[in-house]
């Protein structure tokens, strides 16, 4: 395992993906735990309007990701798209930081950030390309390493920001910080992208609409829908965490950052261990185990009486999230194994579906129940989806030789 990690770091393209997604994790972690608090508590959006903003933004993101994924498969021009989308991220964060208002929040989160977020899936495409062109790499470990980098950054960032918030930093300052991070990513891609891109210029040979039909086959769509609900429970957690801590658990804005960071720190090592466990169990089986742990965590968190009890939920939350957020990436990519760009774009599709699921549950449930009830409804639906995916793939936990080859 250690040798595989060393080989991964020595691969130039995989190392670039690792560094870029680490910085992206810092950027996303700076905003995500506080986004609903800023939108609802600070700028005054209603629950329904906030849900609409996140849903439309996710829809725009997935459309952009699919288009970019198909086009990069056709052209191999990853560098240009990464740089362009990163510039859009700089503009998005700067808009909210310098002109904080409902209009700029909507512009950033419905249009600009969704375009910038397409880089997330392209980093996984880079990891897949690295594994395909380097026999020393293991694809599951490569993907988990990149995903763990994102989680590790996500874990370290919120506690630092929590200290800053407790010290008087305004929450809106996180957008200025994100703009700076995107500038660093832009410089890194511009200076470090491999000069020899011959291995990357793999052209699919399919036209845009032919590629689109390929990613919309029933076997793909059915599994994507279930994965969307499964990871959607994590999107629901992101919406509810700050609201639960402030309204149900009697915590502070700083507690939101500490809790989110703690969960993410537990996620990172779990992601790497999950890649090793995959040598013995099926992906759908491990996903079902992960969703069972995660919904148990969120359901219990929603029912906690105060923050003193809630802190113990960090460990199962990180274990469940670590499994779900890493193993689902490889599962979705393998639905389009020969199309790294399109396969990675499907990761964005699943995240869009998850965001739409979370926003829908949040908007619908808030009409007749509180934040805790909303969490319990989402947990029940996610557990059902995990069971359905496990059954659809044969309800096998341990790998047989045939299953191993298929995975």
Would you say 180 and 55 are in contact if contact means Cβ atoms under 8 Å apart? Answer: no
Q: Note the pLDDT of residue 162.
A: 76
**Measured distance CA(351)–CA(235) in Å, rounded:** 8
Q: Note the pLDDT of residue 292.
A: 95
- For residue 398, give the 3-state DSSP assignment: strand
Q: Domain 2-194+207-406 carries which CATH code?
A: 1.20.1250.20
Q: Note the pLDDT of residue 266.
A: 87
Within 76-138, where are the H helices?
78-98, 102-107, 113-116, 118-133
Q: Note the pLDDT of residue 112.
A: 92
DSSP 316-327: HHHHHHHHHHHH
Residue with tokens 């639905």: 335
Would you say 107 and 175 are in contact if contact means Cβ atoms under 8 Å apart? Answer: no
Chain centroid to Cα 169, Å, comes to 26
Chain centroid to Cα 259, Å, comes to 18
Q: Note the pLDDT of residue 215.
A: 57
Nearest CA among 344, 331, 314, 302 for reference residue 407: 331
pTM score of the predicted model: 0.70
Would you say 200 and 72 are in contact if contact means Cβ atoms under 8 Å apart? Answer: no
Q: What is the dihedral of CA 32, 37, 38, 41, to 10 degrees?
A: 170
| pLDDT tens, residue order, the chain (407 aa) | 566 667 667 777 788 888 888 898 889 888 887 888 888 888 888 888 888 888 788 778 778 777 777 776 666 677 788 888 899 999 999 999 998 889 999 999 999 998 888 887 778 777 777 777 777 776 667 777 777 787 777 677 877 887 887 788 888 888 999 999 999 999 988 887 765 555 555 554 444 445 555 556 677 788 888 999 999 999 999 888 888 888 888 888 778 878 887 887 888 788 878 877 877 888 889 999 999 999 999 999 998 888 888 898 999 999 999 898 888 877 887 776 555 555 666 777 787 788 888 988 988 887 788 889 999 999 999 999 999 999 998 878 776 654 444 44
Q: Note the pLDDT of residue 1.
A: 57
Cα–Cα distance list, 137 to 109, 130, 197, 223, 247 (Å):
36, 8, 18, 27, 47
Q: Note the pLDDT of residue 73.
A: 65
Nearest CA among 41, 257, 50 for reference residue 169: 257
**Measured distance CA(62)–CA(293) in Å, rounded:** 28
Residue with tokens 């950033």: 108
């Amino acid at each position: 395992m250690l040798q595989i990690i060393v080989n991964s770091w020595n691969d130039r393209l995989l190392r670039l993906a690792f560094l870029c997604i680490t910085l992206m994790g810092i950027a996303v972690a700076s905003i995500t735990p506080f986004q609903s608090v800023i939108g609802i508590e600070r700028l005054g959006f209603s629950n329904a309007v906030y849900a609409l903003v996140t849903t439309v933004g996710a829809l725009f993101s997935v459309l952009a990701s699919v288009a970019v994924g198909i086009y990069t498969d056709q052209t191999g021009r990853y560098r240009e798209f990464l740089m362009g989308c990163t510039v859009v991220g700089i503009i998005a964060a700067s808009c909210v930081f310098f002109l904080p208002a409902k209009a700029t929040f909507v512009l950033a989160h419905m249009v600009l950030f969704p375009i910038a977020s397409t880089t997330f899936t392209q980093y996984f495409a880079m990891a897949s390309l690295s594994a395909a062109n380097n026999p020393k790499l293991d694809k599951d470990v490569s993907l988990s390493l990149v995903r763990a980098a994102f989680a590790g950054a996500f874990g370290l960032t919120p506690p630092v920001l929590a200290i800053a918030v407790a010290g008087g930093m305004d929450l809106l300052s996180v957008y200025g910080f994100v703009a700076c991070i995107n500038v660093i990513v832009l410089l890194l891609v511009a200076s470090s992208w491999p000069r020899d891109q011959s291995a990357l210029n793999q052209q699919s040979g399919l036209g845009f609409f032919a590629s689109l039909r390929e990613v919309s086959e029933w076997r793909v769509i059915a599994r994507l829908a279930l994965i969307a609900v499964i990871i959607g429970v994590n999107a629901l957690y992101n919406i509810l965490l700050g609201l639960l801590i402030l309204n149900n658990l009697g915590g502070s804005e700083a507690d939101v950052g500490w809790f989110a960071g703690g969960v993410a720190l537990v996620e990172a090592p779990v992601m790497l261990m999950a890649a090793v466990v995959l040598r013995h169990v099926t992906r759908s089986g491990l996903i079902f185990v992960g969703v069972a742990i995660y919904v148990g965590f969120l359901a219990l968190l929603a029912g906690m009486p105060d923050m003193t009890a809630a802190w113990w939920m960090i460990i199962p939350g990180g274990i469940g999230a670590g499994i779900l957020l890493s193993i689902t990436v490889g599962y979705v990519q393998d639905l389009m194994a020969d199309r790294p760009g399109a396969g990675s774009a499907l990761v964005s599709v699943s995240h869009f579906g998850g965001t739409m699921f979370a926003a829908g549950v949040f908007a619908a449930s808030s009409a007749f129940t509180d934040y805790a009830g909303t969490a319990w409804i989402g947990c029940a639906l996610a557990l059902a989806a995990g069971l359905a995916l496990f059954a659809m793939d044969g309800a096998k936990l341990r790998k047989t030789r045939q299953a191993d080859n298929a995975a």
